[in-house]
Amino acid sequence: MNTVPVVARLAERCANLDLRVLGRDANPDLMDAHLTGSSRSIPVIIVLDEAFVERVWWGPRPTVLQRWVSGQGQLLEKTTRYREARTWYARDRGRTTLEEVVSMLERAAAG
């Protein structure tokens, strides 16, 4: 919900990017191949080359937020944890997501 609009805007502005959105529950095998823990957290961004070979993937959150959610955030009650994460996203305004996704795309392009 927080990262998809950022990635969608990036894809709109880059003619060589094709954004496709797949449902998590309709693709359990794909989700299970990209777990960041034990849950099927979304979104997961998968970069494929022109032969549809996976090059890199990212998700479900920017690294700094993922570390917090997996660490200190676990000490909070779930609704409080989600509220804190939403506050982080609001303050960040997509900047960290964009930086990490662009970096991932650059790594994929470099081979």
21 vs 14: CA distance, rounded Å: 17
In contact, 34 and 46? CB cutoff 8 Å: yes
91 vs 39: CA distance, rounded Å: 26
Banded pLDDT at 39 (limits 50, 70, 90): confident
In contact, 55 and 38? CB cutoff 8 Å: no
Question: At residue 38, does pLDDT exceed 80?
Answer: no
Owner of token pair 């200190």 = 72
Question: At residue 68, does pLDDT exceed 90?
Answer: yes
Domain of 83 in residue numbering reads as: 4-110
Average confidence (pLDDT) over 60-89: 95
Q: How many structural domains is the chain composed of?
A: 1
